[in-house]
């Protein structure tokens, strides 16, 4: 499968929202101006990702989403590589613990709460309570590039 990456346009906002909801990731903070999209040869959006800027001036790789039928084709990797290359550092992300090795391939490392910017400390604490109460075996990781 061939695809290309481009900056999102305002007309992509609906496609981005639908894709993020389809893959069941956090649908908050979806501003098309921060997104890069992967587009198939037929012109359909098959993947997306963004870098958010938080109030504490930390930068977050977020909203990495690929349509299920295009997974395993290098779409997410291309989006992540592109966003790493154009983003200020340090760059952070949050992910479920089962995705740790995936993000390590790009140079991200899991960090302790004491190393996290304020925004991520707060998210980490909330996630710990959520996972404890839901009795899930997973954890939320904060990683830094």
**Residue 91 CB neighbour total at 10 angstroms:** 19
Domain residue ranges of the chain, discontinuous segments joined by +: 1-88, 90-145
Q: What is the pTM of this model?
A: 0.91
Contact (CB, 8 A) for 94 and 119: no
Gap between the Cα atoms of 49 and 91, Å rounded: 14
What per-residue confidence (pLDDT) applies to 17?
97
Tell me which CATH code domain 1-88 carries.
3.40.630.30
Gap between the Cα atoms of 89 and 131, Å rounded: 29
pLDDT in tens, the chain (145 residues): 699 999 999 999 999 999 999 999 989 899 999 999 999 999 999 999 999 999 999 999 999 999 999 999 999 999 999 999 999 999 999 999 999 999 999 999 999 999 999 999 999 999 888 877 777 778 899 999 9
| DSSP H or E stretch at residue 134 | helix 118-134
CA-atom Rg of the chain in angstroms = 15
What per-residue confidence (pLDDT) applies to 74?
96
What per-residue confidence (pLDDT) applies to 131?
78
Asked if the peptide bond before residue 56 counts as cis, ω within 30 degrees of 0, the response is no
């Amino acid at each position: 499968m061939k695809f290309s990456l481009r900056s999102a346009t305002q007309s992509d906002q609906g496609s981005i929202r639908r894709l993020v909801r389809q893959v069941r990731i956090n649908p908050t903070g979806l501003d098309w101006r921060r997104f890069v999209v992967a587009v198939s040869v037929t012109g359909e959006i098959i993947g997306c990702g963004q870098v958010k800027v938080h109030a504490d001036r930390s930068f977050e790789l977020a909203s990495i989403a690929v349509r299920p039928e295009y997974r395993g084709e290098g779409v997410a990797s291309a989006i992540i590589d592109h966003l790493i290359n154009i983003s200020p550092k340090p760059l952070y992300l949050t992910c479920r613990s089962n995705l740790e090795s995936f993000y390590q391939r790009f140079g991200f490392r899991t960090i302790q709460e004491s190393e996290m910017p304020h925004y991520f400390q707060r998210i980490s604490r909330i996630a710990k309570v959520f996972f404890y109460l839901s009795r899930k075996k997973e954890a939320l990781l904060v990683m830094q590039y």
